[in-house]
Amino acid sequence: MAEASPPESLPPDQAAISSEDAESDPLNPYTDYVPYNLQEPPEVNIQVLIQNIDFGVSQNHSAEVIFEKAVSSLDPTIKGAFSDLGDDGLVTFIESNVPLTWPINSVQGEETVRSLVAMLG
């Protein structure tokens, strides 16, 4: 199977782009963890992953809980691609694809993302 790598950014209709005005930033609509649809293209599941992690961070879930609920069931190819990116690469990817006002972009969110990458390793 060909090795997939995450896109440098998500397509505009899937990425939640941050704006100058935090009040106009889109909010994460998730109120629980959302399962992945493996029939969808990787870009869709990557966006679901980011929103699932953001939801977990917003609920103050530990990295272990977020890993179990949001990462463990992810397609192995996508998990491998993010593991290959490393923690700095994944943090940069997230920062460029979601509003800075989202919890995933907080210090706690960054620490959680780094912990999740370590668990993938």
> Cβ distance 96 to 19 under 8 Å?
no
Angstrom CA distances, 35 to 1, 3, 21, stand at 23, 23, 31
Give the Cβ contact number of residue 109 at 10 Å: 21
Number of domains in the chain: 1
**Each residue's pLDDT expressed in tens, for the chain with a length of 121 residues:** 444 555 555 554 444 444 444 455 577 788 899 999 989 999 999 999 999 999 999 999 999 999 999 999 999 999 998 899 999 999 999 988 888 899 999 999 999 999 999 999 8
Query: Would you say residue 25 lies in a domain?
Result: no
Total-model pTM: 0.78
Say if 10 falls within a structural domain: no
SS3 label, residue 96: coil
Q: Find, among 53, 51, 73, 50, the residue nearest to 62 by Cα.
A: 53
Q: What is the end-to-end Cα distance of the chain in Å, rounded?
A: 20
Distance CA 78, CA 84 (A): 10
Tell me which residue range forms the domain holding 81.
Answer: 38-120
Amino acid type, 48: V
pLDDT in tens, 45-66: 999 999 999 999 999 999 999 9
